[in-house]
Amino acid sequence: MQNYLSFLLMVLSVTSWAQNTPRESLDPKVTEVWDLKPKKITPAIKLGDAPSDAIILFDGKDLSKWTDNAGGEPKWEVKDGAITVTKGGGDLKTKQTFSDMQLHIEWRTPAEVVGDGQGRGNSGIFLQDRYELQVLDSYESPTYSNGQAGSIYKQSIPLVNACLKPGEWQAYDIVYNAPHFSENGRVLVPAFVTVIHNGVLVQNHTQIYGPTEYKGLPVYQPHSKASLRLQNHGNPVSYRNIWVREL
């Protein structure tokens, strides 16, 4: 929005007096934007830090920002600065709801390899409670490409496989733009997502076609702000250092 505003300001300034003026005579100051300033923040200096304006969703200590699926007490294990999927513990949902966001999240599939394909280190990050960025042990574990780590599940294959070995911490940095709907529920703008996996671009402004479906094709249903949800797929996947910047 700020980019759009600054561009609009610039265009208005220039066109108001310069339509018939030769470019050489134009004042370069007219295309300088001074009155809209990016907010100054302190960036994260090292891995594990969060920038100063981030909403910290998990700081290694407790699950106070989360509930279980039904809005009750979350049941995942908190240990050694990480949270881990617990059998029978359901999914985790943030109490806060979100729309457009930058999300940083670190995850680890179990060092002890159990199962294969979709049964090995499966979890997932559901943006707005419905669009899954897959978490899976895809280091050397074949599965369908649009279901491997870094995929938008059953929709979009990652550009590369940037997975580390099971048992190692990995990072997703995500830029998510929520869909927009008309008053009668029509999709005006679909959702888009960009994902950097361990520093490598794996989804580049990828269109999301609707809520994640295991069977059949996705169909958008209108919605407003919604929780971030972490999937319990029965495998003891861990997460840490989770923060969001609302956009």
Measured torsion, CA atoms of residues 68, 73, 76, 78, in degrees rounded to the nearest 10: 140
Instruction: Closer to Mg ion by CB, 122 or 241: give it.
Output: 122
Rounded Cα distance between 97 and 102, Å, is 13
To Mg ion, the closest distance from the beta carbon of 153 in angstroms equals 6
**Cβ 101 to Mg ion shortest distance, Å:** 20
Nearer to Mg ion among residue 43 and residue 142 (C-beta): 142
Smallest separation (angstroms) from Mg ion to the CB of 30: 52
Which segment (44-52, 72-80, 105-113, 226-234) binds Mg ion by CB under 5 A? 226-234
| Residue 93 near residue 75, CB atoms below 8 Å | no
> In the numeric block, which tokens belong to residue 161?
């496989």
Comparison of 50 and 129: residue with beta carbon closer to Mg ion:
129
Residue 121 in contact with Mg ion, rule: CB under 5 A: no
The count of residues interacting with Mg ion (CB under 5 A) is: 3
Residue nearest to Mg ion (CB): 124
Query: What number of residues does the chain have?
Result: 247
- Coil, helix or strand at residue 18: helix
Q: Kindly state the smallest distance separating residue 240's Cβ from Mg ion, in Å.
A: 18
Beta carbon of residue 85, minimum distance to Mg ion (angstroms, whole number)? 11
CA angle 96, 65, 233 (to 5 degrees): 95
All residues at 6 or more sequence positions from 115 whose CB lies less than 8 Å from its CB, including other chains: 235
Query: Which residue in the set 121, 124, 150, 158 belongs to the binding site for Mg ion (CB under 5 A)?
Result: 124
CB 181 within 8 A of CB 188: yes
From 25-33, 101-109, 118-126, 172-180, give the range in contact with Mg ion by CB under 5 A.
118-126
Letters for 63-102 (x = contact with Mg ion by CB under 5 A, - = none) are: ----------------------------------------
191-to-62, 94, 105, 133, 209 alpha-carbon distances in Å: 31, 20, 20, 13, 7
Copy the structure tokens of residue 190: 């679909």
Whose Cβ is closer to Mg ion: residue 54's or residue 109's?
A: 109
Closest distance to Mg ion from the beta carbon of 201 (Å): 21
Q: How far apart are CA 86 and CA 14, in angstroms?
A: 60
Identify which range of 78-86, 93-101, 161-169, 228-236 contacts Mg ion by CB under 5 A: 228-236
Closest CA to 201 of 161, 245, 152: 161
Q: Which positions lie near Mg ion, rule CB under 5 A?
A: 122, 124, 231
